A and B are shown apart, each in its own frame.
Chain A
Amino acid sequence: MKYLPLLWATLWRKKARTIFTLLSIVVAFLLYGVLGTVDYAFENPSAGVTGADKLITTNKFSITLQLPFSFTQQIRSVPGVAVVTWITWFGAYYQESKNFVFALPIDTDTYFDLHKSDGFVVSDAQMTAFRNTRTGVLVNSALMKKFGWKVGDKLPLHSTIWTQKSDGSLNWTFDIVGTFDVKDPTQASQQSSTALFHYELFDEGRSFGKGEVGWFEERVDDPSQSAAIAAKIDALFANSPNETRTQPAKDFAIAFIKQIGDVGFVLRAILAAVFFTLLFLTGNTMMQSVRERIPELAVLKTLGFTDGHVLALVIGESLLLCLIAAIVGLGLSFAMIPIVHQALQGVDLSHGEQLSGLAVAVLLALVVGLPPAIRAMRLNVVDALMDKR
């Protein structure tokens, strides 16, 4: 501790260089915190408890392949399954492709029954209006606000997949009959761009795929039996032309995002590239800093600092630099978790993952600090003093 003022003063010997080096390490650890947390979420999709009572059944080979609607009855017959509902990916946007709308055709009764624990809030009058309006749509209040829609408006949505049987058009028009909110905070972020409309309208209106669904959602009576129930559901359709894969809802959400590639690998590759670059940058800075201070280090040795003292001082300086930057970077990433959480549609994130960043900072400090520290330790005091006497 008594060496801290010396280390601190040495660290700020060249202010601009230290600030730029600190900033580069801060950014690296900010990325480490954010990407590491996201990576954790992808690798541990079932880490959270929310939604543990919900399962999702998709085609075994791809979630883009459809399943027969007739599976509903068979799934419902599996002991432990309380509710089954069915949904198909509509792939909609409003006016421009950047205005994504998570439009879902639903079976009203089973969908709201299955999601009742999520705390859907719809006024009775608007729910009645929805049930009574064939072209009705319930829109999340956040989405309503985003686009400035009002109840009573016509809502034209463009589907990227489903053409209408009547005219072959990809444009579907709905009537906004009400809004909804969701109390469950995880579900609230997931549902923030959702619009719900009648499955009957969708199934009858589409020009192909009639009688098929994208996936089934099940709620089970006992969450501890989820894995066994999932296995039973999949066993029902084993060796059929439409084999299924049943998994926890959170796993499904992750799998959905993973369609674009191995996200975890991409994240880890980015982090590896960042830290590889950082290693050279910080290592070079430390080496340059020690090179500039050779006469000063020689003076310390003259005063009686041993080789071990000098080694420890240089490593201490490296540790101070890396740990300060890591704490700032990880702190910023910690503060960004709510934003990432929302961006990932409520996928659970682990704060604990960031703590491992401190261990990485110590490792980084040792790797970049050791070569200059050894050089300083081996310094011959007479030679080093020669040009500075």
Chain B
Amino acid sequence: MSEAIVSLRNVVKHYARGKQDVPVLDGLNLDIAKGEFVALMGPSGSGKTTLLNLIGGLDTPTSGEITVAGQRLDRLGSGQLARWRAHNVGFVFQFYNLMPMLNAQRNVELPLLLTKLSSAKRAANAAAALTLVGVADRAKHKPNELSGGQAQRVAIARALVADPTILVCDEPTGDLDRKSADEILHLLQLLNRDHGKTIVIVTHDPKAAEFGSRHLHMDKGALLETGTLAA
């Protein structure tokens, strides 16, 4: 296995629900190599999204070590995590989560507002990202003028535009028909194979999981490796 870009050691995550302490992850260990396409499956409530949040730096563990792209995330504060996310992670959500009042181009430019790029450079990078995902012709359209597949492509362009180390996708095809879902999965596969992006997706769909080079199954906060495909 090549260099691990994601490394989790003895990660414990508990949530407080009122006075109740709810354990979600209990002493989890995981390594993901650079360039892997990991498909994470499991029943609802098994801890998939919690794991994804921890890898993406959206949440912090109750205890344990999380290292992503050489950075110990469990030692970072909220502001440091936000800055780290801006440079290292691209997020893709089930319901796209595009800003409804901005057109596709402006949506993709959003992460670049946090950089020192000029307005022209931001626009050029956003246009390049939209071209890469195949929706350059929809750049001036707002999310409500896009199909589900197109909206998800725009969301992927937004996740890619700042050239992150890792793409974190939570049910990226969960709101799409089979055809659109396959197109999105092929696109993610392309980004993984041709552009070397490390991708972690959470999915309930076995067909979607087949696109991953490595399959992980989660149940009750524990990980079970179910297979690795040759790249």
Q: Which residues of A contact B (CB under 8 A)?
A: 2-3, 5-6, 9-10, 12-13, 295-296, 299-309, 381-382, 385, 388-389
Contact = CB atoms under 8 A, between A and B. Distances in A.
Nearest to B97: A299
B85 A302 contact: yes
Interface in B146-197: 158, 162, 170-171
A300 B109 CA distance: 12
Contacts of A2: 113, 119, 122
A16 to B, nearest CB: 14
A301 B82 contact: yes
Most buried by B among A12, A295, A305: A305
A304 B85 contact: yes
B100 A295 contact: no
Contact of A306 (B82, B102, B119): B82
A304 B87 contact: yes
Interface in B76-124: 78-79, 82-87, 91, 93-95, 97, 99-102, 106, 110-111, 113-114, 119, 122
B170 A303 contact: no
13 contacts: A2-B113, A6-B110, A9-B99, A13-B101, A302-B56, A303-B85, A303-B91, A303-B114, A307-B79, A307-B82, A309-B82, A382-B58, A389-B97
Q: In terms of DSSP, what is the predominant structure of the interface of chain A?
A: helix
Most buried by B among A5, A301, A304, A388: A304
A312 to B, nearest CB: 12
A306 B93 CA distance: 20
Nearest to B53: A382
Nearest to A310: B82
Contact of B49 (A12, A300, A389): A389
B18 to A, nearest CB: 14
Nearest to A296: B99
B102 A389 contact: no
Interface of B: 49, 53, 56, 58-59, 78-79, 82-87, 91, 93-95, 97, 99-102, 106, 110-111, 113-114, 119, 122, 158, 162, 170-171
Nearest to A5: B106
Contacts of B99: 9, 296, 299
A125 B229 CA distance: 115
Contacts of A388: 93, 95, 97
B82 A305 contact: yes
Contacts of A304: 82-87, 111, 114, 162
Contacts of A295: 97
A303 B86 contact: yes
Contact of A300 (B79, B83, B110): B110
A303 to B, nearest CB: 5
B94 A9 contact: no
B111 A303 contact: yes
A10 B101 contact: yes
B89 to A, nearest CB: 8
A25 to B, nearest CB: 21
Contacts of B170: 389
Contacts of B122: 2
Contacts of A300: 110
Contact of A9 (B86, B106, B158, B162): B106
Contacts of B91: 302-303
A5 B101 CA distance: 10
A309 B91 CA distance: 19
A10 B110 CA distance: 13
Contact of A13 (B82, B97, B100): B100
A13 B142 CA distance: 12
Nearest to B59: A382
A150 B30 CA distance: 103
B113 A389 contact: no
Nearest to A300: B110
A381 B87 CA distance: 18
B212 to A, nearest CB: 19
B101 A9 contact: yes
Nearest to B50: A382
Nearest to B91: A302
A153 B102 CA distance: 72
The 6 A-B residue pairs with the shortest CB-CB distance in the complex, in nearest-first order: A304-B86, A9-B101, A306-B82, A304-B85, A13-B101, A299-B97
Given A303-B91, A306-B82, 6 more contacts: A3-B113, A5-B106, A303-B86, A381-B58, A389-B94, A389-B171
Most buried by B among A2, A10, A302: A302
